[in-house]
Structure 1
Amino acid sequence: MVELTGVSDLPTPATGDFLLAWRGSSPYRLNVSFIANVLAMGTSAGAGLVGKNGGGTVQDHINTLTTQNLGSLPRGSTNAVEIDKTATQAALDGTSQFYGLVNRVYAQGTRNYDFVRAQYLGAKLDHTAGTVANADGLHAFVWLGAAGNVTNAVAIAAHIRADGPGDVTNEALWFRAIDADFVGGSTINTARGFSTGQIGGDGTNVTNAYCFDAEDTDATSVTIAFRSSISAGTNKYTLFSGNTAKSVHLGKFGIGSTTNPLWSLSVFDTINNYVADFNNAHASSPFGIRIRYSASAPEGGDNDFIVCSDTASTKFAVKSGGAVFIQGLQILTTRRTGCPAAATDLASAITLVNFLRTSLITHGLIS
């Protein structure tokens, strides 16, 4: 219901003209063409288009656009409600903000609310045959159609503001994929909570393409770029890469524990089995593990290639200079005098083996 005050003998306005009305002491304009379109949908829509001037019940202030059957659609796009607004010029450079549609709801009072939603959008498909190729609850885009540049183009931007003293006592979620409801035996082939398509085009127009980008963030307790609560099970994975692209990780990497890793790679487990397994399936010329320094290995005994230890002591170690230690005793060195040269024939190989056997006997490791 529209309450007009101080206006009489109104002429019939042309499309695009405005009716002048008052809410309290504030004037506002109503677009005649928009009202005409709404009224064409049904008489009850017009009655709820604008609430009564002050007071009234909740129903007096609810906008209800009645159901309208558009019939058979023609080829191409059909827009049930279309609002086009054009700004031809900003006031001064960088001083104007342009919003095509602003919709706010204000939840007030002292009672509890189950939900407060500024927009509730959905697409319900009731066709009994045929297939809908794509069904979108919300489709947003930014269209750059002229010579001017755009510094940042964002199809959907989410913002949460808390002025206090009230708090967000559980979680603040900017985007969330909520569970699907399955009734009557319906199924879904593949469900994706978050998915990106080919955002980089053909690769010739985009300099850098990031399908998911987490910028630096700080919190009082813990900061996590990606958190998974997927439990262990058959064909269940926290991370799964189905293609052959490389992976790069600059920080320390920990597996099997939630404590901060001390090394570039830390693997932890409590199972009665091997913690790590390296399997090269090459049939004719496989290689194992390569450990190397980027520079010449020092001769000192403080640098290790391999160390095997428990909580009591070091059981086996290979030093960077080539010395081999078992139970803390040096049994072999490859860079000091008294050690045969590398074996190049059968005789020198036998000499090298005899030297190793003598060293083990000397240190009481074998008899």
Structure 2
Amino acid sequence: MVPFGGWDMPVQYAGVKAEHDAVRTRAGVFDVSHMGEFRVQGPDAEAFLQRVTTNDIGKLKPGRAQYNWLPNEAGGLVDDIYVYRVGAEEFLLVVNASNVAKDWAHLQAHAAGSDVQLTDESGRWGLLAVQGPEAAALLQPHLDVDLGAKKKNAYFPARLFGQDVWLARTGYTGEDGFEVFVDAEGAEALWEKLLTLGLTPAGLGARDTLRLEAGFPLYGHEFAEDLHPLASTYTWVVKDKEHVGRAGIQAQPPVKLIGLALERVPVREGYPVLLNGQPVGHVTSGTSSPTLGHPIAMALVQADAAHEGAYEVEVRGKAQPARRVELPFYKR
């Protein structure tokens, strides 16, 4: 157990590799109840969210979810979030645990003058993520809805083991799966029932190796308040509309996020990236990939040095060869 975003979180149960492999080959379950949830309601809800995010809220129909960004005035990110449309004038936002207070203050400040009601529901919800290629098959016998009719990013109410829940066909692993929103007081009982299905409990360690293989950025590593978000490969998240920080985001990023593959030596956040012996950037996330069988990393490097084929990463004073690979590292 480790402190994480104000919570005590499990790094691993039976071991990171075993949990990682279970999610890649069958299915696992993560307790992600540390995430924050905000309800946004009112006649101006859509217009308000359209103004404070970069993706197009107007294209989001009820019963659908959307990955999005909360930019600051300079064009960096306050947070990366998921937006769920409940109805014409109602949305649910899921935000990173470490950013709950900051995000809440940011949204409150920008809501002034709008006919919109914000409610912090972070304490109301437990959130359990069932992820893996067999997730739907394992859940289906215990649900009152047909999962086969629900596409990626669907968001819908259901009864699971007789409990009222909301399901979202989303996730952070690169696999199919469902995030289960359940009243906090019912989360423990639901967790125990999910384990009876043979789901492997998985912790922060596997969550990180899975998301890194899938090329998913992590706030505080690949995204930050003072980091141009278009340094990432997620340019599709920014639509041509008026929004907070638009001018800053339209500027060209001075750095680019690249993928690196190494032969033997794992690398960690902060390790220098070298080109012809000279520093051109640093590692933002690194691990030894259980699926691929070798170390991988994401790194921010100078934009004019981002298209080379070979680099080195400095590990304890020694340069280790690394080759640039396209993100994501893994895709089912």
Question: Does the alignment reach a TM-score above 0.5?
Answer: no
Structure ID, larger Rg:
1
Instruction: Kindly indicate which of the two structures has a greater share of residues assigned to helix.
Output: 2
TM-score (norm 1): 0.18
Instruction: Kindly indicate which of the two structures has a greater share of residues assigned to strand.
Output: 2
Q: Which has the higher contact order (CA 8 A, sep 6+)?
A: 2
TM-score (norm 2): 0.19
